[in-house]
Structures are given as structure tokens and as C-alpha cells.
């Protein structure tokens, strides 16, 4: 299996990624590299969070990390710059707006979850406090019962050994 230098790999990936977007078969033939190798490189790019368009026209091939990267990269762009960015990446501005809305919705959900978790922790502390009070109360009852039982046993032992109660027949 041949090893390719980082420079050669970057040059080949540049042909595959936007704005060039050459197809894998033509680049493989042109560069003498197998299709499987090129597809593997594209997958590695996706895993690293590089915005790599999918093999289909939909955005379902974009990983959530890559979508977030695109949203962050385009947050400060003007409309003209956004259009150029979209052409370069093979996207539509509407897709980016949907991804941004999804990111914001996710952040809102996270805040709601944190609030709910905080409320749950407060309720848990209250329940723990009540349970500890109940355990203390029951410990006192058990201690009192134990001492009464010990006293009752000692009293029985004291009266059962009475020397005057010896009867002669």
C-alpha cells in the first residue's frame, strides 16, 4: 500500500473539496490513486470537522460538527460574502440558516435541561434532609426501645433471683 506525502494528499483533497468539487473517479484516474483511498481521505476530513459536502445533494451527509463549523464561519459574513461562501462549499444560504436555528434550539434546550437539573438537585437535597431527619427520629426510637428492653430484662433477672421466695415442702 503506497504512502502519500501530506503535501500530495492536501493537493488532491483540494481538487475534491469546494470550490473545485471534482468527482472522485476523475481525480482518481488523473492522480493514479484508488477511489477507495480518496473516499477514505474524505471521510477522515469529515471526522476532523472539515466541512465536506456529501455525495448527495442533501445536507444529511454533513456531520453535526461540520454544520457547526459552517455556522460559526458564516456568522459574521455579509450577504454577498455568504453567497460566495455557499458557492465555494456547495451549500445554500437557507441550509445554513436552518443549521443556525438548530444550533440555537439546541443551546436553548441545554439551558432548559440545566434549569431542570438544578431544580431536581434542590428537590433531592430537600428529600435527603427529610430522610435524614426520619432516620434520626427512628434511631432515637430504636435506642429508647433497646434501653427499655434491657431494663425489662434486668428487672426480670432481679426478681427471678429473689432469695426469700425459696419454698420448703
Going along the chain from its start, the domains and CATH numbers come out as 1-48 (1.10.10)
Q: What is the pLDDT of residue 57?
A: 44
pLDDT average, residue stretch 108-135: 91
How confident is the model at residue 61, as a pLDDT?
A: 63
Q: Is the pLDDT of residue 46 over 80?
A: no
Dig out the grid coordinates for 94 from the structure.
Answer: 437557507
pLDDT of 55 above 50: no
Note the pLDDT of residue 28: 87
Tell me if the pTM is above 0.85.
no
Q: Judge contact between 18 and 53, C-beta under 8 A.
A: yes
User: pLDDT band at residue 137, thresholds of 50, 70 and 90?
Assistant: very high
Within 8 A by CB and 6+ apart from 61, the residues are 53, 54, 55
CA-based torsion, 25, 28, 34, 36: positive or negative? negative
For the cut 60, the answer to whether the pLDDT of residue 4 exceeds it is yes
Mean pLDDT across the chain, nearest whole number?
A: 83
The predicted-structure confidence for 60-72, as pLDDT tens digits, reads as follows 567 787 888 888 8
Find the mean pLDDT for residues 116-125.
93
Amino acid at each position: 500500500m503506497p504512502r502519500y506525502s501530506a503535501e500530495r494528499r492536501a493537493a488532491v483533497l483540494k481538487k475534491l473539496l469546494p470550490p473545485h468539487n471534482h468527482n472522485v473517479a476523475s481525480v482518481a484516474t488523473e492522480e493514479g490513486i484508488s477511489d477507495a483511498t480518496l473516499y477514505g481521505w474524505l471521510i477522515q476530513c469529515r471526522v476532523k470537522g472539515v466541512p465536506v459536502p456529501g455525495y448527495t445533494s442533501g445536507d444529511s451527509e454533513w456531520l453535526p460538527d461540520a454544520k457547526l463549523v459552517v455556522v460559526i464561519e458564516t456568522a459574521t459574513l455579509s450577504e454577498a460574502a455568504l453567497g460566495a461562501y455557499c458557492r465555494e462549499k456547495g451549500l445554500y444560504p437557507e441550509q445554513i440558516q436552518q443549521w443556525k436555528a438548530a444550533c440555537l434550539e439546541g443551546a436553548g434546550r441545554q439551558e432548559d435541561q440545566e434549569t431542570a437539573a438544578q431544580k431536581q438537585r434542590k428537590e433531592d437535597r430537600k428529600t435527603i434532609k427529610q430522610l435524614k431527619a426520619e432516620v434520626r427520629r427512628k434511631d432515637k426510637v430504636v435506642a429508647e426501645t433497646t434501653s427499655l428492653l434491657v431494663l425489662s430484662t434486668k428487672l426480670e433477672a432481679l426478681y427471678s433471683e429473689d432469695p426469700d421466695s425459696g419454698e420448703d415442702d
